[in-house]
């Protein structure tokens, strides 16, 4: 029974990991793009993305999940059938917006002198950004990013509200249907999964920070 429960939880956790991984892969670069848009000198673009970030940060993630999934019906279309896809889209947009603010803070914290030093050495803006600024930004934002990443691990549970996504919390509930155990036990088990995974992430971020310790800003 113990092994069976573990297997069921592990299966759910794989779904959790999948949603977590996909969200990170897409939201990290998208967040940078949004950050650059919110810092644009072209005012309409800046305003548009500022509004988007406001809306996304200003409404519950759960509401956003439902809107992505059922929103198409507002336009006379069918709701999204693939709830996992819907959840991924909602998570990517939501986290990209949060990341964008962290990126912006990081980018704005780099001194003007760094940009100017690059400029007088004949670099163009793209070169200055990628060769000079970016790594310094990464070093600066690693800690707040790790916060968001850890929050994301746990936020993935929200996806099960859409139905059809059996991530680890949903899996824990299903365990009680398979085995006659009180719900609290598989839920505690799920908690252990989260704890271990977040522990691993914490160590990874620690290593990354150490790796960037070779220079100081």
Partner 1 sequence: MSFLEVVDYKKKFGDNEVLKGISFSLEKGQVLAIIGSSGGGKTTLLRCLNFLERADEGKLLLDGEVLFDAADKKQNKEKSVREKRLHFGLVFQSFNLFPQYTVYGNIVLAQKLLAKRELKRIKAEYAAQLKNVPSEKKAEMKKEIKAKLADYKNGQKERIAEKTLSLLSRVGLSEKKDSYPYQLSGGQQQRVAIARALALNPDILCFDEPTSALDPELTGEVLKVIKGLKSSDSTMIVVTHEMDFARNVADHVIFIADGHIEEEGTPEQIFENPRSEKTRAFLKKSTEDNF
Q: Report the interface residues with partner 1, using CB under 8 A.
A: 111, 113-114, 116-125, 127, 131-132, 135-136, 139, 214-217
Pick the closer one to partner 1 by CB: 129 or 179: 129
Q: At 96, is the secondary structure helix, strand, or coil?
A: helix
Please state the closest distance from residue 213 (CB atom) to partner 1, in A. Answer: 11
136 vs 108: CA distance, rounded Å: 11
Pick the closer one to partner 1 by CB: 104 or 139: 139
Please state the closest distance from residue 113 (CB atom) to partner 1, in A. Answer: 4
Pick the closer one to partner 1 by CB: 2 or 214: 214
Structural tokens at position 97: 């917006």
Which residues make Cβ contacts (< 8 Å) with residue 17, sequence separation at least 6? 197
Pick the closer one to partner 1 by CB: 127 or 146: 127
CA 208, 210, 211: angle at the middle one, nearest 5?
65
Q: In the block, which residue shows the tokens 């959840």? A: 87
Please state the closest distance from residue 110 (CB atom) to partner 1, in A. Answer: 10
149 vs 179: CA distance, rounded Å: 33
Q: How many residues does the chain have?
A: 217
Please state the closest distance from residue 141 (CB atom) to partner 1, in A. Answer: 14
Pick the closer one to partner 1 by CB: 77 or 120: 120
**Closest among 122, 98, 90 to 22, alpha carbons compared:** 90
DSSP class of residue 122 equals T
Please state the closest distance from residue 135 (CB atom) to partner 1, in A. Answer: 5
């Amino acid at each position: 029974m113990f092994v069976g429960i573990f297997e069921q939880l592990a299966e759910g956790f794989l779904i959790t990991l999948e949603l977590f991984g996909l969200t990170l892969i897409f939201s990290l670069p998208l967040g940078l793009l949004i950050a650059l848009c919110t810092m644009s000198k072209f005012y309409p673009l800046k305003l548009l993305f500022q509004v988007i970030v406001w809306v996304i940060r200003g409404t519950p993630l759960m509401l956003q999940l439902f809107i992505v999934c059922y929103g198409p019906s507002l336009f006379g279309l069918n709701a999204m059938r693939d709830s996992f896809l819907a959840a991924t889209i909602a998570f990517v947009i939501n986290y990209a917006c949060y990341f964008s603010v962290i990126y912006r803070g990081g980018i704005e914290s780099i001194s003007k002198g760094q940009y100017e030093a690059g400029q007088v050495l004949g670099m163009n803006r793209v070169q200055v950004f990628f060769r000079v600024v970016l790594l310094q930004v990464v070093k600066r934002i690693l800690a707040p990013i790790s916060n968001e990443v850890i929050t994301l691990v746990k936020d993935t549970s929200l996806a099960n509200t859409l139905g059809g996504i059996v991530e680890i919390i949903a899996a824990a509930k299903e365990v009680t249907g398979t085995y006659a155990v009180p719900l609290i036990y598989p839920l505690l088990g799920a908690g252990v999964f989260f704890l271990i995974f977040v522990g691993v992430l914490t160590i990874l971020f620690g290593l990354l920070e150490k790796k960037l310790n070779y220079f100081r800003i």
